[in-house]
Amino acid sequence: MIFATQSWPRRAATASARRDSRFVSGVRTALSAASSTALVLLIAACGGGAGSGPANSPDAPAAGEAQIRSYSPNEVARAEIDERGANAHTAMQFLRRVRPAWLRSRGSNSLTSAGAMYPVVYIDNIRRPGGLSALFQVPLSEVRRMEFIGPGDATTRWGTGHQSGVILIVTGR
């Protein structure tokens, strides 16, 4: 009887090991199938094969499709101003439409200075008084590039007093 109780757990352990082995084998097969499917999709996505030339490159828009461009969230170049600046005459009008996050308050940074919660405006590396209202004085036709510089980089570049960052405008003057 003692011998029978000792052999029963061994048989159960052996059956359990066989089930585990079949489970692991099934998982390996599923992973193998999934990885081969992923490999096929990866090769197909790369666009290898016939007809992959400059005319069919991913950069060229397909027939009938508009080209979708990706712009930097912290920089506006002249090309973007020309493309997206219709009906905007000042830098403020353009930024309100295209980059409104640049004009938002960054919270109360100072109890004595209400202007500290908005970005400081620099035009051609010269600080402009009046805060964001200085953007109304900049004609969009003269702007070459606009850039939002975060507080850390702005403090490194221009010193303290830039807790909400800087809007830097480079003109063609």
**What DSSP line would sit under 30-43, residue for residue?**
HHHHHHHHHHHHHH
**What is the CATH number assigned to the segment(s) 75-171?**
2.170.130.10
* Distance (Å, whole) CA 157 – CA 168: 12
The pLDDT, as a whole number, for residue 53 is 45
The pLDDT, as a whole number, for residue 73 is 87
The pTM score is 0.57
The pLDDT, as a whole number, for residue 156 is 94
Q: What are the backbone angles phi and psi of residue 134, rounded to the nearest 5°? A: -65, -20
Written as six digits, the tokens of 139 are 């004609």
* Distance (Å, whole) CA 70 – CA 68: 7
CA distances from 39 to 29, 31, 32 (A): 15, 12, 10
pLDDT, tens only, 12-44:
555 555 555 565 565 555 555 555 555 555 455
| 167 strand-pairing partners | 121, 148
